[in-house]
Chain A
Amino acid sequence: DVVMTQSPLSLPVALGQPASISCRSSQSLVHSDGSTYLIWFQQRPGQSPRRLIYEVSNRDSGVPDRFSGSGSGTDFTLKISRVEAEDVGVYYCMQGTHWPWTFGQGTKVDIK
């Protein structure tokens, strides 16, 4: 199975400051169809996960533009340009290129 490794696992950030989460995969996430199926989810406390970013860098409808995704191959990043209070929660990356799909361990973002 593809192992997804996130860092850091805990990320205290001051309001208005940037945040960056790394996600590395144990093998390339480039699919034979040419796409890279790397997704980022946000899970606020007590809520279901919410998809933020799909195929590395495509933001979902309604997701603030302070969220951005980047990367390629085995190395990916989720950035929040200016953290707001509503961004508190756990962020997960997930690969959907190789069965079984696998998630990173999650990164807990809270306010410093």
Chain B
Amino acid sequence: QVQLVQSGGEVKKPGASVKVSCKASGYTFPNYGISWVRQAPGQGLEWMGWISAYNGNTNYAQKLQGRVTMTKDTSTTTAYMELRSLRSDDTAVYYCARDSSGWYPLLDYWGQGTLVTVSS
């Protein structure tokens, strides 16, 4: 069965960086992509970006350009999302979701979420 298992919660200070992992299993990893979505406390869902697990192509939300980097390791079927220069409004639960390798969305399987808290 398809599973996405994310790394544990993190507490970071403003200005620091965080790297969240998403370990995929139960499907052929390179045939899909991974999208990252975040949810601030009590708020809605925000799409952050997408990475192709085939060739590493990425597409980021403009508001995060320059601060976010999504990568993947095909050998371990793991995707990563790194966010730099953290601010208090980056406090959120970060989700990875299986996506297509192309232009259309899937988001059919989701990880359990990783809470990132940014606080001094």
Contact = CB atoms under 8 A, between A and B. Distances in A.
B46 interface: yes
Contact of A51 (B108, B112, B113): B108
Contacts of B106: 54
Interface string B94-120: 010100000111111011110000000
Size class of the B contact interface (CB-based, 8 Å) = 20 to 34
B105 A94 contact: yes
Contact of B104 (A31, A41, A49, A92): A31
B11 interface: no
Interface residues of A, number: 25
B61 interface: yes
Interface stretch (A14-22, A76-84, A96-104): A96-104
B102 to A, nearest CB: 10
A107 to B, nearest CB: 10
Contacts of B37: 49
Nearest to A48: B110
B66 interface: no
Contacts of B95: 48-49
Interface in B8-48: 35, 37, 44-47
Contacts of B44: 90, 92, 103-106
Given A48-B110, A48-B113, A50-B110, A96 B105 contact: yes
Contacts of A103: 44-47
Interface string A40-78: 010100001111001000001000000000000000000
A39 B59 contact: no
Closest 6 CB pairs of A and B: A96-B105, A48-B110, A101-B47, A103-B45, A106-B44, A100-B61
Given A96-B107, A101-B105, 5 more contacts: A33-B104, A49-B97, A94-B45, A103-B45, A103-B47
